[in-house]
């Protein structure tokens, strides 16, 4: 195949277009789910698809300590990325990542409901972010050393990125999931009727948690929908058209 043959590039463009289209369609389904599910007060929750909004409160499981900031939280995830250059190619490569969570309550003016964030899509802005060749904070350095990850190169520090996201007590929590019977209802920790309910992923597969308001969530999803569907159609369709033209199929 000649070195200037665009076939490989066009095939990749078509495949990336399909991925973008699928991503946009997935976000569209989530957006429609949120729009079609009314926000419930805690004391009015019915079993099945549910949407609640309120403040995060620690549960009987207690709190976690976020790795990079040390902040008390009910959920965190982090990643460490290194900028790698190979010939003419360069990219950010994730060399370490992790997450952990605890059950927590969402509290509004009518009560509290327990949430198990396992399997949720958790949309949070970074609470800690650093990018470049500067040395990370001592706490981050200690974590890297424990994992045998080196940020120092032969002559200078490596180009690295560090991210941490966490959900802490007092944060706003907007939750779309499925309300079901709380399997821990026999515990002495539960006395009020509304604590007999647990919001989790359930069978529907839609489980979304954010620290933004519903309006902000929908605005953000709207951009992802248009970027994914239109971008996928343009990139995938354009690449396919050029391929067919190249192969003289039309």
**Helix, coil or strand: residue 13:** helix
DSSP strand pairing (160-167 vs 75-86): antiparallel
What radius of gyration do the chain's Cα atoms show?
23
In angstroms, the CA 150 to CA 168 distance is: 30
Q: What is the pLDDT of residue 206?
A: 86
pLDDT tens, residue by residue, 51-85: 999 999 999 899 999 999 999 999 999 999 999 98
Question: Is the Cβ–Cβ distance between 201 and 1 less than 8 Å?
Answer: no
Q: What was the pLDDT predicted at 138?
A: 95
Residues in the chain where the model's pLDDT stays below 70: 1-5, 184-195, 236, 239-244, 247-250
The per-residue b/e assignment along 179-204, b for 16 or more CB within 10 angstroms, e otherwise, is bbebebeeeeeeeeebbebbbbbbee
pLDDT in tens, 116-152: 999 999 999 999 999 999 999 999 999 999 999 999 8
Residue from 162, 228, 236, 213 nearest 29 by CA:
228
Closest CA to 127 of 168, 95, 86, 160: 168
Contact between 41 and 110 under an 8 Å Cβ cutoff? The reply is: yes
pLDDT of residue 216: 85
In this prediction, residue 5 carries a pLDDT of 66
């Amino acid at each position: 195949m000649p070195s200037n043959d665009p076939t490989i590039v066009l095939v990749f463009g078509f495949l990336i277009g399909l991925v973008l289209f699928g991503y946009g369609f997935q976000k569209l389904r989530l957006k429609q789910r949120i729009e079609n599910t009314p926000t419930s007060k805690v004391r009015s929750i019915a079993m099945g698809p549910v949407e609640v909004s309120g403040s995060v409160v620690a549960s009987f499981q207690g709190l976690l300590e976020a790795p990079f900031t040390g902040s008390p939280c009910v959920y965190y995830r982090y990643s460490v990325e290194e900028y790698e250059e190979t010939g003419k190619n360069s990219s950010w490569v994730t060399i370490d990542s992790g997450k952990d969570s605890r059950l927590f309550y969402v509290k509004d003016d009518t009560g509290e409901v327990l949430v198990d964030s396992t399997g949720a899509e958790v949309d949070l802005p970074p609470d800690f972010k650093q990018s470049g060749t500067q040395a990370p904070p001592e706490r981050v350095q200690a974590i890297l050393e424990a994992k045998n990850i080196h940020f120092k190169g032969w002559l200078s520090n490596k180009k690295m990125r560090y991210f941490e996201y966490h959900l802490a007590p007092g944060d706003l929590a907007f939750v779309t999931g499925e309300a079901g019977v709380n399997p821990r209802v026999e515990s002495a920790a539960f006395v009020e009727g509304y604590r007999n309910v647990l919001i989790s992923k359930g069978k529907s597969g839609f489980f979304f948690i954010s620290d933004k308001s519903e309006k902000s969530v929908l605005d953000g999803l709207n951009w992802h929908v248009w970027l994914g569907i239109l971008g996928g159609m343009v990139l995938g369709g354009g690449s396919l058209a050029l391929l067919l033209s190249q192969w003289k199929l039309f």
